[in-house]
Structure 1
Amino acid sequence: MSEVLAVLAGVGLAAACGFRIFLPLFVASLAIQTGVDGFGGFSLGGLVGDDLPWLGTFPVTVAFGVATVLEIGAYYVPWIDNALDTIATPTAMVAGTLMSFAFLPGVLDDSYLKWIAAAIVGGGTAGVIQSGTVALRGTSTATTGGLGNFLLSTVEAIVATVTSVLAVFLPLLAGVVALVIAIYMIRKILAIRRWLRSREEAT
Structure 2
Amino acid sequence: MEYTEIIFSVFLGIGLAAAVGFRVFLPLLVLSLSAFYDIIPLNESWVWAGSLSAVIILAVATIVEILGYYIPWFDNALDTIAIPLAAVAGTAVMMATLADMDPVVTWALAIIAGGGTAAVVKGNTSALRLTSTATTGGLANPVVATVETGTSTLMSLVSVFIAPLAFLFVVLIFFGIYKFYKKLKKKRPPSA
TM-score under structure 2 normalisation?
0.91
Q: C-alpha displacement at 1:189, in angstroms?
A: 5.0
Counterpart secondary structure, 2:84? helix
Counterpart secondary structure, 2:146? helix
Change (3 A) 1:60 1:10: same
Q: Is 1:9–2:12 an aligned residue pair? A: yes
2:82 to 82, 88, 95: 88
1:93-134 Cα deviation digits (max 9, x unpaired): 10001111111212x22x233112211001111111001101
Unaligned runs of 5+ in 2: none
* Aligned counterparts of 1:30 and 1:91: Cα–Cα separation in 2: 21
* Aligned counterparts of 2:159 and 2:186: Cα–Cα separation in 1: 34
Contact kept? 1:132, 1:189, Cα under 8 Å = no
* Aligned counterparts of 2:74 and 2:181: Cα–Cα separation in 1: 22
1:18 to 21, 29, 34: 21
* Aligned counterparts of 2:27 and 2:122: Cα–Cα separation in 1: 14
Contact kept? 1:12, 1:175, Cα under 8 Å = yes
Q: Is 1:64–2:67 an aligned residue pair? A: no
* Aligned counterparts of 2:77 and 2:184: Cα–Cα separation in 1: 20
Runs of 4+ in structure 1 off by over 6 angstroms are none
Partner of 1:148: 140
Listed as ranges, the matches of 1:32-43 within 5 Å are: 32-36=35-39
Q: C-alpha displacement at 1:35, in angstroms?
A: 1.3
Unaligned runs of 5+ in 1: 37-43
Aligned CA RMSD, in angstroms, stands at 1.7
Contact kept? 1:51, 1:105, Cα under 8 Å = no
Change (3 A) 1:138 1:188: farther
Q: C-alpha displacement at 1:190, in angstroms?
A: 5.7
Percent of residue pairs bearing the same amino acid type: 42
* Aligned counterparts of 1:130 and 1:17: Cα–Cα separation in 2: 8
* Aligned counterparts of 1:193 and 1:86: Cα–Cα separation in 2: 25
Contact kept? 2:43, 2:95, Cα under 8 Å = no
* Aligned counterparts of 2:115 and 2:175: Cα–Cα separation in 1: 15
Q: Report which stretch shifted further, 70-79 or 175-184.
A: 175-184
Listed as ranges, the matches of 1:30-179 within 5 Å are: 30-36=33-39, 44-45=40-41, 48-106=42-100, 108-109=101-102, 111-179=103-171
